[in-house]
Amino acid sequence: MAVFGRERRGRDRTGTPADLLVIGLGNPGEQYAGSRHNVGARTVDVLTLRHGGRLRKSKEYSLTDQLRIGDANVAVAFPVTFMNDSGRAASALVRRYGIDDLEQMVVVHDELDLEPGVVRVKLGGGLAGHNGLRSIRDHLHSVEFGRVRIGVGKPPGRREGADHVLRKVSKSDREVLDIAVEQAADAVECILAHGYAEAMNRFNGGR
């Protein structure tokens, strides 16, 4: 699906074009760094470290870098807007990196509807009530972007979902999510190398 129109894309692009744009969702600030809501941002950290990059502040309301993965130019970003305003950063990043088809954009995010540690790949579809995804849809007027979903599980008892995803996690849960973040980075690399169909087959099958 074209984004903004190809001609406008060329006029607005402010950086080197990317073959893939990876946006890891989360909230800025040390108090949120270890929370379930920030597993997407942590995945971007993992990718950046794996490929010798360094995230830096950018004009697109994000920490960003461009990585060379194989023959591909991959832009990675952690929006420093709060989660509910992620779309403001996403729309600016799409323009900066010349993304004219939303299949070139992968959003990594937490997912209440998946068991803790489960990683799934998805292209388009519903938003599962996720405020960060909703903001991206509202700014880009589409849901046809890729996602890597990291399960954090539903809140226990009567705890509110927001409270659940914003709290720091226990040691045992942190170990599970640490593994999931590494797998989510693997999933992004699989999408880049083999496409969504292969990534979904590899990460969605059997569980």
Catalytic residue among 37, 109, 130, 164: 37
Instruction: Output the CA torsion 157→160→161→167 (10° steps).
Output: -90
* Nearest by Cα to 136 from 172, 95, 99, 87: 87
Q: How far apart are CA 59 and CA 56, in angstroms?
A: 10
Indicate the burial class of 59 (C-beta count within 10 angstroms; 0-12, 13-18, 19 or more).
exposed
Give catalytic status of residue 37 as yes or no: yes
**Which residues participate in catalysis according to the annotation?**
37
